[in-house]
Copies of this chain bind each other. A is one copy, B any other.
Amino acid sequence: MQVEELKNVSVELIETAEAAYLTTIGQDGYPHTRAMLNLRNRQQYPNQVHLFTQHQDDLMIYFSTNTSSNKIRQVESNPRVCVYYCHPEQFHGLMLSGEIEIVHDSEIRKALWNEGWERYYPDGPDDPDHMVLRLYPKLATSWYRASRFEFSLEDV
């Protein structure tokens, strides 16, 4: 299968998966996985779609999370992560891996913001407990049609 076709099915999966599973490596030496809001899901986050239209090729992703969460302490000490998307009933999976960054940019915090998040971040997008993470993945692994494929996303 051609990388271009794999990328297309990967983008489709990212844009429809119900959640994104982010795994960090803890200071305890164990991997730590948790579900995250999948801000690239077009149906769940229609107001954010425009943020990703330039990233159909590099598969860049954002997460909004709590500054006080364990995952922030973990990525500060080890930025190597993977993010997994899946439609289990179709045996279709995608793992993106690379080094995640903390993004200090009020414009991005505002662009990712959704109505109702005041419940988590009372002071709005710039609440000190609201933090944005960004991953430009280096490597993608795709499970599709009973096969496993790897493709590089470096130098895209």
Chain A residues within CB distance 8 Å of chain B: 18-19, 21, 23-25, 29-35, 80-82, 84, 86, 88-89, 91, 93, 95, 97, 141, 143
Contacts and interface: CB of A to CB of B under 8 A. Distances in A.
A34 B89 contact: no
B23 A33 contact: yes
B88 A31 contact: no
Contact of A81 (B31, B93, B97): B31
Contacts of A84: 21, 33-35
19 contacts: A18-B88, A21-B21, A21-B33, A21-B84, A24-B31, A25-B25, A25-B31, A31-B80, A31-B81, A31-B82, A32-B95, A32-B97, A33-B82, A33-B84, A33-B95, A34-B84, A34-B93, A34-B143, A35-B93
Contacts of A91: 35
What 8 A-B pairs are tightest by C-beta distance, nearest first? A19-B88, A33-B84, A23-B31, A31-B31, A18-B88, A30-B80, A31-B82, A30-B97
